[in-house]
Amino acid sequence: MRNQITAVIIALGLVATALIVSQAYKYRFRSAEGIHVVGLAEVDFTSDLIVWEGTFQRKSINLRDAYASLKSDETSIRDYLKRKGIPDSSVIITAVNLQKEYDQVYDTRGTMSQVFSGYKLSQSVKIESQDIPRIEALSREVTELIEKGIELNSSDPLYFYTKLASLKMDLLSKASTDAKQRAETIAKSVQGSLGKLKKATMGVFQITGKNSDEDYSYGGSFNTKDKFKTASITIRMEYGLK
């Protein structure tokens, strides 16, 4: 009888030891493992700042004549912009850029030489404004100056958003919440609970044209050609599992 009792005690001891080892292994395993998730947030927004730029130039064999013509064009452009309702505070005109130009000339023997053909002077006019409709119209209509003999090349307007820092912070918060919700869902699916946050890494901030097929960039896209845009951000998070 005594031997039987001893055997039972030993068996119960082995079972208890096995349970303790099992629970210890389970705890160690769960402590070592983690849940890796990626949170995403995006928002559509409308640009609130437009930038338009154009260049104008004059060329003459005489430097003074070229400069006088360029300054006359600058005056005409400023007057034109005022008539279009553009305040001087929104207009930036750069300093004069000067280039000497040469023509290639060949003599009867086919020898090439360079002959001075004149001075080319150019300037850029730039407008930054939050009156987007007005500047959009101007970018299309400014070619009217060509009819006055002004050689003006108009660029497509660029669109920006002045509250980008605030928008980015809001997206980051939403992406973090999204990541945590994903992690909680995974934890519940394996009958566990979410542990402490181990690591968080912010992904790339992307700005693309709304409803466009524009590709994301490894270093982050920053669309400036579209007035209507979509901003998105990702965040990688690692949680422990209880």
Which pLDDT belongs to residue 9? 46
Closest to 54 measured CA to CA, from 108, 4, 92 = 92
Which pLDDT belongs to residue 14? 40
The structure tokens listed for 67 are: 């400069």
The structure tokens listed for 201 are: 């890494």
Mean per-residue pLDDT pooled into runs of 10, the chain (242 residues):
47 43 43 81 97 96 96 96 93 96 86 91 96 95 90 95 96 95 90 89 93 81 95 94 84
Please tell me the distance from the alpha carbon of residue 118 to that of residue 112, in angstroms, as a whole number: 18
Residue with tokens 């099992």: 22
User: Which residues in 81-104 are b (16+ Cβ under 10 Å) and which e?
Assistant: beeeebeeebbeeeeeeeeeeeee
Which pLDDT belongs to residue 1? 54
